[in-house]
Amino acid sequence: MRGSVCLYQGDELALPEADIEYLDLCDPYGIRFWPRFKGRDGCRTPIPWNENQYAGFSEIKPWLPLAESHLPLAVSIQQQDAESMLNYCKHLLQWRKKQEALLEGQMTHLAANESILSFVRKSANQSILCIFNLTEQKSDFQLPVKAKLNEKNSFSLGLYLQQGRQLKLSAMSALFIELM
């Protein structure tokens, strides 16, 4: 949707889903359907802010346990690492805020193979080509005939290689490139 950004709690830290013991569950669905469905509590554990007791989330024991696997991904640790997921997300969101086409542009879908989702977002002053490889294999994308890319204003989540009008995208990747 135009202008919408959706980050689930913990995405910006690359937190994996926590494994919650049955006795610690709070989610009625998880309790009722255990072990076939463990519920939503694994996605609702406290955010690890630092390395203190209860990871800086609270001064008392939180309602769900902290996952040990989340502690090395604490905000205080990732803030110090320029290559961390937290800093990567901050950079992406800052870049996105400057892209008029992504904020308010119209969307036009482009034909692509079954593993690629592609469209152009176009505003009065800007057009951005958005390409998503939704598979775990490399995939090719054929650029539209008239497309001229401004790679100085681009953002890539994954790797890509351009060979003429063909883009080769790494698995599970996304590419945003301004069109000139």
Tens digit of each residue's pLDDT (9 = 90 or more) over 168-178: 999 999 999 99
- Element holding 86 (H helix, E strand): helix 85-97
How confident is the model over 157-161, as a mean pLDDT? 87
CA dihedral (28, 29, 33, 37) in degrees, to 10, reads: -130
Partnered with residue 174 across adjacent β-strands are 132, 157
> What is the rounded distance in angstroms from the CA atom of residue 140 to the CA atom of residue 133?
9
In this prediction the pTM is: 0.82
Query: Do residues 41 and 64 lie in contact, with contact meaning Cβ atoms separated by under 8 Å?
Result: yes
